[in-house]
Amino acid sequence: MDYYDLHTHSSLTIGENTTDEMLAMARKLGLRGIGISGLREKPASELDIISCYIIEAKNPQQLMEEARKYRDSYEVLMVSGGNYEVNRAACENPMIDILCHPGKGRKDSGLDHICVKAAKENNVAIEINFREILDNYRKRRVRILEGIRRNVLLCRKFGAPMVAFSGAVTKWGMRAGRELAAVAAIAGMELPDAIASVSVIPQQIVANNRERLSGKKWQGVVIHE
């Protein structure tokens, strides 16, 4: 099984470790692919390195502007969630691949049936973010887990995709694919779906975008050579 973690940060952005240190940890953890925020020039590696960009938007208008600006520059485009209006706008935007930590800083899950229905229609994956759980304690951690469980139920009901990533800002915050899948299962996902959240689904996101960026796919039409 090939495991992917598409949400990590090196010293290129807010992380503490260099890109090489993050890649070395990914190898130790047995990951097949890793996405490092802000990385555009990929070093030579046996790992599948994915260029990712995380939009930090204050409102839906800024989100749209950033999406248009960066959609064709990165293989995976994510949105930093938390603000409900931004969460909803991300779910309604087919240019977005992943909505990260929708419940960040909130007392609720950050999503409702309107958001999740839109995520299904636009193929936007909802993230389970391990760092959000790891960095909080006691009542706050319980509230976060409750919010994640609610989002799992909503996504299951409406068929929206989910992914489970580390969100690591240090190499020590990274986790093996099986560990991330276990977190997703604890949050309420069925085991096959939990495994898919760190393998099949992120692989499909990357493959679809690489095909589109290569110029072989337009609006659902694929040209076979």
Q: What are the residue ranges spanned by the domains of the chain?
A: 4-222
**115-137 pLDDT, tens per residue?**
999 999 999 999 999 999 999 98
SS (H, E, C) 77-127: EEEECCCHHHHHHHHCCCCCCEEECCCCCCCCCCCCHHHHHHHHHHCCEEE
Mean pLDDT to the nearest integer, 26-42: 94
Q: Write out the two tokens for 127.
A: 């993230």
Question: For 4-222, CATH number?
Answer: 3.20.20.140
Residue 79 sits at φ, ψ, to 5 deg, of -125, 135
Residue type, 26: A
Residue-by-residue DSSP string for 116-184: HHHHHHHTPEEEEEHHHHHT--HHHHHHHHHHHHHHHHHHHHHT--EEEE--BSSGGG---HHHHHHHH
pLDDT for 54 beyond 90:
yes
